[in-house]
Chain A
Amino acid sequence: LMNWHPSPGATLNSQILAEACGCAESLGGAKDGRWKTSIYFYRSMAREAAAGQQGQQGRELLGVALHERPGLYFSIIRNNRLVLQADAAFPQVMEKLQSYKARVALNFEGFQYQLGDFCLRIGKCVPNNSETLRGIMMEVEYYPLSSIEKSRAIMEDFFDIWQETVAKKSLPGHFIHVDSNFSEYGLSDQYSFQHTAVQYATCLQQLLTVARVQS
């Protein structure tokens, strides 16, 4: 996953998104439809009832509904480095149990491009109920390999080629990739949807950090 990092002082706008899509096409990408992945912020309802103790901040839980696997729902607790893969009905369970309450939902959505053995998902980050552009990001998938270690070289090469292509457009900013520490989440070298969910959580974190800096 790559985040768009705007240059200091520059603002986000959908023009950047359009240019990024243009880059994908210039590399021979064929537009392959839309995609949308959603992240939900949950706040824990648990409260320490012991007298004298201040009401503890509930743990924050992220729910991730990936575009590729509508039948699954991923729950991530970043502080504890936990990721859970469950059925798409899981949010209903949480609601029934009243253990966690959904507060905010963010959507990552845009167009998908097929570039030979690569798949690119370029998109914007917008809150569920508004059109305010919170960020721009993209997801790159390399189909032939599923080992993270073995595909590292190829992915780095792709990132370089992508950077070169985007740089030609002289946009106010650039894409960056922030590594997610998969091993901390107990994930193996074999790439899975859980890895993707964790990357979205990292991406979101990065996005919010940038937004905070900007404002």
Chain B
Amino acid sequence: MMQQSQAQAAALAVAPSVSAVAPTMSHPNDPAGGDAPPKQVAQAMERLGRAGRLIADIRLGADRLLEALFVAGCAPPYSAPQHIDRTSRAVVQEEAAMRRHFQDLRALGRLLMILSLPHAVFRLALKAFTDQKRRFFPHLEDEVLGQIQDGEPGVTKKPRLSANGELEEASLSEILKNLGNEVPNMKIFTYRHLDWSKRASSLASLMDDDFVDPSKELNLQNMGNSRSSALTTSIDQVAVIEFLVPSIFRAIVSLHPAGSTDPDAVAFFSPTEGGSYLHARGMSMHHVFKHVKVSVHFLLLKTFIVLQRWIASYQTLFTKVCSKCGRRLMMDKSLALLLPPVHRPYHQTSNVGPDLQEAYHIGCSSYDI
């Protein structure tokens, strides 16, 4: 039947998009691939294959539903009652099967998240899946899509697997408010994409002055405050968050999609830096901030709250001694640079206060944050 072959062709169309993703993972030593050992890479590939098949099954089921409805719709009026019966049975059957498929897919998605997949690879797979799903099951979005990452703006709630394996549901505005209370030294500002570019440029012009005015930093903060208060009504469009600890650092986090609690990238800068290179994927001019890095693994698996606490722990970047060697400024032999302890591993047990947070020099660190 035509529809059958269409479904088959569609299934084939789905599979290549998944397998196109797979080759990038066949390089276990690829730094972009995280630290996934070969066994896990094989596991991930197998799971992606299963995901592809599940997607194909879902599409087949969808086609069957459509077929049943089509036939029922075309049937002559006298045979309506029979068709209605048959159709409703078929729909119920398919619905059950579809629900199972979706559940399996979700579980598979979680398993995939636990592996160190390259950020981009995972997003590709997820995007391919969500695109297909949105095209064919738009009505199911509210129910299912809310539980898997949603590319649409306006979705602020996002259940995540926390470090403890518990589901944490929190909205962006709640989290930001809570952190503001937790860490009073740190100022938090939110921006839309365009607004951040403007602010970054304005920072450059303010700093580029012979007369360094102590009140200038205060002015900058006030500027940021008025900006964020204007934006609190459109928290759905927040794409950039600035964490400023005055005179110590400025951390920029980008969210993807906007308005979600899903961090995309984070970068640290000196509070005196400004310009178009100041963004979450940019890099500071100063070595010390260049070496405050976070792995894709961390961004993907830790909750937003954990990320914020980790950022806040860098208040002590220039004062805390290394938890291993007890020194502060030390020459890193491999880099030939004098650096303070720039590594701060994050433990599974959350709610570790900033004082208890450990810090290590690059050379003293055995963690891979």
Cβ-closest chain B residue relative to A30: B336
Contacting residues of chain A (143-199) with chain B, CB-CB under 8 angstroms: 143-147, 149-151, 153-154, 157-158, 161, 188-193
Are the C-beta atoms of B337 and A28 separated by less than 8 Å? yes
Cβ-closest chain A residue relative to B333: A28
Q: Report the stretch among B5-13, B45-53, B106-114, B207-215 that lies at the interface.
A: B207-215
Residues of A in contact with B, size category: 20 to 34
Cβ-closest chain A residue relative to B319: A153
Interface: B134 (CB within 8 A)? no
Are the C-beta atoms of B210 and A117 separated by less than 8 Å? no
Are the C-beta atoms of B211 and A116 separated by less than 8 Å? no
Query: How far is B162's CA from A149's CA once the two chains are assembled, in angstroms?
Result: 38
Are the C-beta atoms of B212 and A154 separated by less than 8 Å? no
Rounded to whole Å, the gap between the CB of B352 and the closest CB of chain A is: 22
Q: Mark interface residues in A58-78 (1 if CB within 8 Å of B CB, else 0).
A: 000000000001011000000
- Contacting residue for B248 out of A71, A115, A150, A161, CB 8 A: A150
Rounded to whole Å, the gap between the CB of B210 and the closest CB of chain A is: 6
Interface: B225 (CB within 8 A)? no
Chain B residues with CB below 8 A from A116, complex form: 287, 335-339
Chain B residues with CB below 8 A from A147, complex form: 247-248
Q: Mark interface residues in B319-349 (1 if CB within 8 Å of A CB, else 0).
A: 1000000011101000111111000000000
Are the C-beta atoms of B338 and A192 separated by less than 8 Å? no
Are the C-beta atoms of A143 and B286 separated by less than 8 Å? yes
Cβ-closest chain B residue relative to A153: B319
Rounded to whole Å, the gap between the CB of B212 and the closest CB of chain A is: 5
Interface: B121 (CB within 8 A)? no
Are the C-beta atoms of A189 and B328 separated by less than 8 Å? no
Count B interface residues, CB 8 Å: 29
Interface: A128 (CB within 8 A)? no
Are the C-beta atoms of A151 and B318 separated by less than 8 Å? yes
Chain A residues with CB below 8 A from B327, complex form: 157
Are the C-beta atoms of B248 and A117 separated by less than 8 Å? no
Chain A residues with CB below 8 A from B331, complex form: 27-28, 161
Are the C-beta atoms of B337 and A146 separated by less than 8 Å? no
Query: How far is B272's CA from A42's CA once the two chains are assembled, in angstroms?
Result: 35
Interface: B288 (CB within 8 A)? yes
- Contacting residue for A190 out of B214, B284, B340, CB 8 A: B214
Are the C-beta atoms of B318 and A27 separated by less than 8 Å? no
Cβ-closest chain A residue relative to B245: A150
Interface: B197 (CB within 8 A)? no
Q: Mark interface residues in B198-228 (1 if CB within 8 Å of A CB, else 0).
A: 0000000000001111100100000000000
Rounded to whole Å, the gap between the CB of A155 and the closest CB of chain B is: 9
Interface: A85 (CB within 8 A)? yes
Contacting residues of chain B (268-306) with chain A, CB-CB under 8 angstroms: 270-272, 284-289
Query: How far is B337's CA from A143's CA once the two chains are assembled, in angstroms?
Result: 14
Cβ-closest chain B residue relative to A158: B329
- Contacting residue for B288 out of A69, A72, A117, A153, CB 8 A: A117
Query: How far is B319's CA from A27's CA once the two chains are assembled, in angstroms?
Result: 22
- Contacting residue for B214 out of A117, A188, A193, CB 8 A: A188
Are the C-beta atoms of A153 and B272 separated by less than 8 Å? no
With A116-B337, A154-B340 given, name 14 new contacts (CB 8 A). Answer: A85-B210, A115-B337, A115-B338, A116-B335, A116-B338, A117-B338, A117-B339, A143-B270, A144-B288, A145-B270, A146-B247, A153-B328, A161-B329, A189-B214
What residues of chain B have their CB less than 8 Å away from a CB belonging to chain A?
A: 210-214, 217, 247-248, 270-272, 284-289, 318-319, 327-329, 331, 335-340
Pairs A-B, 8 closest by C-beta atoms: A157-B329, A147-B247, A116-B337, A28-B336, A144-B286, A190-B214, A188-B214, A144-B270
